[in-house]
Amino acid sequence: MYNILKVTLLFSLFSLFHIKAQYKSRDNIRLNYKKELDMYAEEYRNDPNTYLNKFEELRQNAISENYHDIAADCLYYKARCFYFNNKTDSSVANAERAIEEAEKYNIIYVKAKTKGLLALEFSRKGLTDRAIDQLEDALQMLPVGDHNNRALLSAMGIQIAFHGNDSQKEDDYSDSCLREARLSGNKTRLRSAYFAKGKMSLESENYVQAEAYFKKAAALSDPRDNFQNAHLHMAFGELYFKQQKYDSAISRQMNALKSAMIVKDKRLLLQIYNQLKKSYKATDNIKNYQLSDENSIRLRDTLDVLNIHQQQAVLRAMEKELKKSHEQEKNNYVMACAGALFILLFILFLFLKHYKKTQKLKNVFLEKEVLLNREQQKNKQLEGELRKDVLADLLSSATENHPLFLNKYKKVYPAFFETLDKLSSELTTEDLKCCAMMHMNLSAKEMAGYTYSSIRTVENRKYRIRKKLNLCSSVDLNKFLMNV
Instruction: Give the chain's domain count.
Output: 1
Would 428 be classed as within a structural domain? yes
Residue 67 exposure: Cα atoms within 13 Å on the Cβ side: 21
Would 377 be classed as within a structural domain? yes
What is the rounded distance in angstroms from the CA atom of residue 401 to the CA atom of residue 429?
Answer: 14
Q: Would you state the pLDDT for residue 307?
A: 40
- The string of pLDDT tens digits covering residues 136-164 is 989 899 998 888 889 888 888 888 888 78
Per-residue confidence band for 23, with pLDDT thresholds at 50, 70 and 90: very low
Would 342 be classed as within a structural domain? no
Q: What is the mean pLDDT of the chain?
A: 79
- The string of pLDDT tens digits covering residues 206-249 is 888 888 988 888 888 877 777 788 888 888 888 888 888 888 88
Would 392 be classed as within a structural domain? yes
Residue 475 belongs to domain spanning: 357-482
Q: Is the pLDDT of residue 45 over 70?
A: yes
Would 131 be classed as within a structural domain? no
- The string of pLDDT tens digits covering residues 442-475 is 888 888 888 888 999 989 988 898 898 888 888 8
Contact yes or no for 234/264 (Cβ under 8 A): no
What is the rounded distance in angstroms from the CA atom of residue 35 to the CA atom of residue 278?
Answer: 44
Q: Would you state the pLDDT for residue 330?
A: 76
Q: Would you state the pLDDT for residue 14?
A: 55
Would 363 be classed as within a structural domain? yes
As a whole-number percent, the residues of the chain with pLDDT over 70 amount to 83
Would 389 be classed as within a structural domain? yes
**Higher-confidence position of 23 and 317:** 23
As a whole-number percent, the residues of the chain with pLDDT over 90 amount to 1
Q: For 372-382, what is the mean pLDDT?
A: 70
Backbone angles phi, psi at 175, to 5 degrees: -60, -45
Per-residue confidence band for 312, with pLDDT thresholds at 50, 70 and 90: very low
CA 169 to mean position of chain CA atoms: 22
Contact yes or no for 460/430 (Cβ under 8 A): no
Q: For 336-356, what is the mean pLDDT?
A: 85
Q: Would you state the pLDDT for residue 456?
A: 92
**Higher-confidence position of 434 and 200:** 434
Would 376 be classed as within a structural domain? yes
